[in-house]
Each structure stands twice: as structure tokens, then as C-alpha cells.
């Protein structure tokens, strides 16, 4: 099932699954956006991306790390 920019929790979970070795806060927004676009089943045309969305993804991804 596809998901998009509004699904920040799902994005964070997918990023943790794909890149468990990375610190979310060490990644710049440009790189983070590219990483998200490469996630399986991600639909880049669904929703809008901006700084607030990327900040939310970083925060939730860090929380996924426990």
C-alpha cells in the first residue's frame, strides 16, 4: 500500500527499518528528502513536503530508535 508525505509515522518507521545505523539528526533535509523518496511504496506525489514535515520525520525516527 502506498503512502505519502502526510504519513510521517510510517516514513519514520520505514527509515528506521532501512537505515538503523543512522542518527536522524545527523542528516540534512535535502538528503533526508531523497532518502524518503527512495523508500519502498512511497508516493512522492501524495501530499506536500516542507521543513515542518521533515522535522516531524526526524523527531519520530529518533523516537523509533528508542
Q: How confident is the model at residue 63 (pLDDT cuts 50, 70, 90)?
A: very high
pLDDT of 1 higher than 90 = no
The C-alpha atoms of residue 14 and residue 61 are separated, in whole angstroms, by 9
56 CB-contact burial (10 Å; exposed 0-12 / middle 13-18 / buried 19+): middle
Q: Which residues contact 66 (CB under 8 A, 6 or more apart)?
A: none
pLDDT, tens digit, for every residue of 18-53?
Answer: 999 999 999 999 999 999 999 999 999 988 999 999
The C-alpha atoms of residue 61 and residue 17 are separated, in whole angstroms, by: 10
In this prediction, residue 22 carries a pLDDT of: 97
pTM to 2 decimals? Answer: 0.94
Tell me: pLDDT of 66 over 90.
Answer: no
Topology at the third CATH level for domain 8-65 = Arc Repressor Mutant, subunit A (1.10.10)
Amino acid at each position: 500500500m502506498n503512502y505519502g508525505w502526510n504519513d510521517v509515522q510510517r516514513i519514520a518507521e520505514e527509515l528506521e527499518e532501512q537505515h538503523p545505523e543512522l542518527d536522524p539528526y545527523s542528516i540534512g533535509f535535502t538528503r533526508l528528502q531523497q532518502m524518503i523518496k527512495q523508500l519502498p511504496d512511497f508516493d512522492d506525489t501524495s501530499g506536500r513536503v516542507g521543513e515542518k514535515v521533515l522535522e516531524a520525520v526526524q523527531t519520530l525516527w529518533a523516537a523509533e530508535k528508542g
